[in-house]
Amino acid sequence: MTKKYANYIPNDQHKIKEFKQEENIFEEISKELLNKSVLLKRKYLVIVLISIIISSVFGAYVYYFIYIANHDTVHLRSNFLIQNLRGDTVDTWIAWQKTDNALFHIHVQNSQYATKERTDAIIDVIMSQQKIELDDSIMHKGPEGTSSVYYVGWYGALNSIKNDTKFNIVKNIHFHIDDDVPTGDIVIILTNLSNPDGYSAYTNSIVDEVNHQILKSTITVYNIDKISLEDLKTLVRHELGHGFGLAHSTAPEDLMAPTITTNYPYISECDLDAIHHLYDGGESSKVVCEK
């Protein structure tokens, strides 16, 4: 496990250790019983063996439970699915409904943690227009020799989408660093606190569900002093995906996977197809991505 995980739970190792300790104690007791049983009757040996089997089964169950608990199920799901050729899907949620040409404000809260290096990294994730072409075989999307385009920054990514959607896709982004109480459509807060549920970063959006629109989105990046600049970029890129209305992808190599493991955490064509359909008013729809 690395801190790259968007929803990494640092307590896991501890939990597993705790569990192993319990298992060790149980084994100690079992050994003691085993010694006694040699002196006593053979049936005690059978009891010991049965308890070892039970402890193993219980152990496997506890491990499985911890495994399940590790995986993020917090984000709201919608009934809107986008599917790619491998059967992977990107869930979408709710769109922004900005008027045409309205500035979309993404602000970072000024604090001792918002250093120049970090804000520059965040600006890159927001404003970059850089494109990267990756071979589809690397991303398990297609045969070697075919490729797909990825975006480093959301500005470049969002502005590559056609202007033919029902709601305006966020394209006119303004970045600012705010003092104290940040204003902005999306606010990014860097902190050294830990998330109580163990997430490395978290997006909290206020929405008007009746009109199916996002009103404000707050992204918090936790344990900032333990995160490298590259990981900060990855986390903010992922969380901004939530901020613009995406939920999670089932493709493990996608930027929007609940646990980010890819070495290429860039905005994919599939993520942008999902944005396009979401902003076209799709509340209940299924679309097959080209890749």
Candidate segments 2-10, 13-21, 51-59, 182-190, binder of Zn ion by CB under 5 A: 2-10
Nearest approach in angstroms of CB 242 to Zn ion is 6
Nearer to Zn ion, 168 or 203 (CB): 203
Candidate segments 1-9, 48-56, 182-190, 223-231, binder of Zn ion by CB under 5 A: 1-9
Nearer to Zn ion, 7 or 148 (CB): 7
Asked if residues 260 and 201 have their Cβ atoms less than 8 Å apart, the reply is no
In terms of C-beta density within 10 A (0-12 exposed, 13-18 middle, 19 or more buried), how is residue 93 classed?
Answer: buried
Among 291, 254, 222, 241, CA closest to 3: 222
Nearest approach in angstroms of CB 134 to Zn ion is 21
Nearest approach in angstroms of CB 257 to Zn ion is 8
Q: Is 146 left (phi over 0), alpha (psi -120 to 50) or beta?
A: beta
Q: What angle do CA 186, 188, 189 make, to 5 degrees?
A: 145
Nearer to Zn ion, 6 or 251 (CB): 6
Number of residues that bind Zn ion (CB under 5 A): 1
SS3 96: coil
Helices (H), 97-177: 116-127, 154-158
Nearest approach in angstroms of CB 162 to Zn ion is 26
Nearer to Zn ion, 6 or 94 (CB): 6
Nearer to Zn ion, 6 or 95 (CB): 6
261-290: contacts with Zn ion (CB under 5 A): none
Nearer to Zn ion, 6 or 232 (CB): 6
Residue 113 backbone dihedrals phi, psi, to 5 degrees: -85, -20
Nearer to Zn ion, 6 or 48 (CB): 6
Residue type, 229: L
DSSP state of 267: B
Q: How far is CA 94 from CA 2, 38, 202, 203, in A?
A: 30, 67, 17, 13
Nearest approach in angstroms of CB 204 to Zn ion is 12
Nearest approach in angstroms of CB 258 to Zn ion is 6
Nearest approach in angstroms of CB 6 to Zn ion is 5
Nearer to Zn ion, 118 or 242 (CB): 242
Nearest approach in angstroms of CB 81 to Zn ion is 17
Among 257, 128, 278, CA closest to 213: 278
Q: Which residue is nearest to Zn ion (CB)?
A: 6
Residue type, 61: Y
Q: What angle do CA 239, 243, 246 make, to 5 degrees?
A: 85
**x/- binding map, residues 3-42, to Zn ion, per CB under 5 A?**
---x------------------------------------
Structure tokens at 165: 């959607």
Distance CA 224, CA 35 (A): 52
Binding region for Zn ion (CB under 5 A): 6
